[in-house]
Structure formats: structure tokens, C-alpha cells
Structure 1
Amino acid sequence: MSIKIAKKLRITFILALVLLNVSCDQVLKNVVRQTIAKEERIHVIKDSFVLTKVENEGAAWSVGSDLSPLLKIIFLQIIPTLVLVFLLRHILIQTKYKKETVVGFAFIIGGGIGNLFDRIVHNSVTDFLILDLGLIKTEIFNLADVSIMVGSILVLFSVLVNKDEILFKK
């Protein structure tokens, strides 16, 4: 396979992963917005798995929700946009990252775009999932948050397993 074809396939794969993460997140959030009333709680599996709907006007744990409108735009929209564009550009151009690192970053970018889209279009992020599995109990979250966590775990795994190589191929 020629280098040009391999590069195009790699870029297509990365963009498809990002788009898949954004799409799944947005489809589920739209379903939640249309079918669940604000703060309604649907106990899917007793108290272990609950669906609800909360509009978060800040970042994680509502951090920044009390900022002025201008500061919200700067800290919750402009800076995240710049970071996501930089990271996406970097993983598209840089070919020495290991596969699990690239997949991890694609998940992080996809989740970030999903929440950023909400902030720009809806002025808040729709959160709707709560898990309580005994030892593991979460605050309310959404699928974009799952993408970010899975991506972070993949990148961390890549760093820990490949200590000598860190994030890069040899």
C-alpha cells in the first residue's frame, strides 16, 4: 500500500472515530431532550442505573456556571475549541503516535466536541446518566463524558504499558 493511501486511510479512520463519538452523543442527548422532563428520574435498574435530564451551564460539576456570559464564552467555548482543534490537527499530522494513543485522543476530541456543541447551540450541556454500582458511584454525566474518560484511559494505558516508548512508536 502506498504511503499516500495509508495516510488517507489513517486520517479517515481518525475523523470517523471523532464523528462517531460526536454523533452517538448528540443522538442520545436529543432523545433525552425530547423524552425526559427536566429533573425527571427514570430508574432503569433500581437505583443502580438512572436516567434523568439536567442542563449543566458550566463544565464538570457545574464549575464556571456562575461566570459572566463573556467569561463563559472564553473559558467554556473559545479555549476548548482552540485546544480541540490543536489536538485534532496534531494527531492528523503526527504519524508517530501508537494506535491506542490515536484512538484515545480521537475519543477525547469527539467527546469534547459533543459537549462543546451543546454549549454553543444550547448554552448548556445535557447530562442524563447516573450509575451507582456500590463501589462505583457517579455524578450525572453524558455519553461525551464517557468518550472523554475512555479516551483518557486509552492514552494512560498507552503511557503505562509502553514506558520506554511513552506515546510514540520506536
Structure 2
Amino acid sequence: MKYFKARWLPVAIAIAITVILDQWTKQLAIEHLQGQPDQFYLNDILRFTFVRNTGAFLSLGADFGPVLRTLLLEGFPAILLVALLVYIFRERRLNGWQVVALALIVGGGLSNIVDRLMLGHVVDMLHLKLFGLQTGIFNVADMAIMAGMFIMLPFAFAKDDEEERTEEAAPSDRETTAIQQSAD
């Protein structure tokens, strides 16, 4: 946990903001959307609708039995979030963007687990539809998870500094062939 001192504050802030904002918007949805017809905004692009999601993404797993659903939707994600936190504090190569991105993922996952533990389901309320394409119904926690993944995307395709240095230090195939030919 060498990087704990330097990273705990941004991680704690990102997780806290995510959980607080998500739980607040879910409470608003319970108070103002539950039992109400869908509300449309921005020329029907944004729709607010109240949904109790007992499954995971797009209600996957909603039909599982209670034990399997608890293991797959609460236990397994909790273990993954703890592992992700350990990774955040141990991995020396993470930059500030990556730390915040991973903290957003942890915060979103944590807030959805809180819903499952407290309510037995996740509250979803947002739905987008544009140019004939539409999303599933989601919440702020889901947006935080997706934002974290989006921020991490460029880093997933970037070469590691150590890999680049190794490639620069190693002779190319042409150089190796030229060296071998001159030695013959």
C-alpha cells in the first residue's frame, strides 16, 4: 500500500461524490417518479422512468434464485471492488486520471451494492433515445462506471513505458540481420 498516502484523498472524494450523488438522485426518483408516468425532456431524447432492477445490467440475472442472485450481484461485485481498491493503492504505474477513473468505477459499484443490500433492488430512472438508438434504463452509478471505463480506454491501448524502452533498446530485425551478415 505504498501509494496509499498520495491517493487516498482523491479516491475517497471520487467515491464519496459518486455514492452521494447516486443515492440522492435515486431518492428523488423514489419520491417523484415512482408510480408516475414517464416524463420526457429535450424533445423526447431524455426520459425519466422509475424502475426497480433486481438484476444486473439490462436486468440480466433478475430470474436467478435468491442465493445465486446474492452471490453474483452482491458478493462477487463486492470482492471485485475490494480488489480494485487494493490495485489502486498498490499499482505504481497509475496516473491521476487512472486513479480517479478506477475510483469512479468503485463508487458506482458500491452505490449499486448499497441499493441491493438496503432495498433488494437497484433504482434506475434514466433512459436516452436518439436517432432510433436507445439505452437501457440506468442511474448515476452506472454513468460513473461508464465514465471510469471511458477514461481508462485510451490507457488500455497505450503502450507501457517499460515496453517502449525495451523495444527501443532491442535491435530491430533489420539491424539484427545486418549485424549477423557483417559477422559472417
For the aligned pair, the TM-score class normalised by the smaller chain equals: 0.7 to 0.9
1:46-88 per-residue CA deviation (whole Å, 9 max, x = no partner) reads: 3211111000000011111111111111111111111101111
> Residues 46, 126 of structure 1: CA spacing in aligned structure 2 closer, same or farther, 3 A cutoff?
same
Provide the TM-score with structure 2 as the length reference: 0.80
Instruction: Write the mapping of 1:42-81 to structure 2, written as runs, cut at 5 A.
Output: 42-81=39-78
Aligned residues: 161
Task: Confirm or deny: 8 A CA contact 2:10 2:100 kept in the other structure.
Answer: no
1:163 equivalenced with 2:159 (yes/no): yes
**1:89 shift after superposition:** 1.9
Task: Confirm or deny: 8 A CA contact 1:21 1:144 kept in the other structure.
Answer: yes
> Residues 135, 100 of structure 1: CA spacing in aligned structure 2 closer, same or farther, 3 A cutoff?
farther
| 4+ aligned runs moved over 4 Å, structure 1 | none
Percent of aligned pairs sharing the same letter: 32
Gap runs ≥5 in structure 1: none
**1:135 shift after superposition:** 6.2
Tell me, what secondary structure is at the counterpart of 2:127? strand
Supply the distance in 2 between the matched residues of 1:7 and 1:86 (Cα, whole angstroms).
14
Task: Confirm or deny: 8 A CA contact 1:39 1:54 kept in the other structure.
Answer: no
1:147 equivalenced with 2:147 (yes/no): no
Supply the distance in 1 between the matched residues of 2:37 and 2:5 (Cα, whole angstroms).
45
The equivalent residue for 2:90 is: 93
Provide the TM-score with structure 1 as the length reference: 0.87
Task: Confirm or deny: 8 A CA contact 1:38 1:52 kept in the other structure.
Answer: no
Task: Confirm or deny: 8 A CA contact 2:50 2:123 kept in the other structure.
Answer: yes
Supply the distance in 1 between the matched residues of 2:95 and 2:132 (Cα, whole angstroms).
32
**1:148 shift after superposition:** 0.6
Q: Paired residue for 2:110, among 108, 113, 123?
A: 113
Supply the distance in 2 between the matched residues of 1:103 and 1:74 (Cα, whole angstroms).
27
Tell me, what secondary structure is at the counterpart of 2:159? coil
The equivalent residue for 1:103 is: 100
Query: Which amino acid in the other structure matches residue 129 of structure 2?
Result: D
> Residues 136, 157 of structure 1: CA spacing in aligned structure 2 closer, same or farther, 3 A cutoff?
farther
**1:150 shift after superposition:** 0.6
Supply the distance in 2 between the matched residues of 1:137 and 1:55 (Cα, whole angstroms).
19
Tell me, what secondary structure is at the counterpart of 1:97? coil
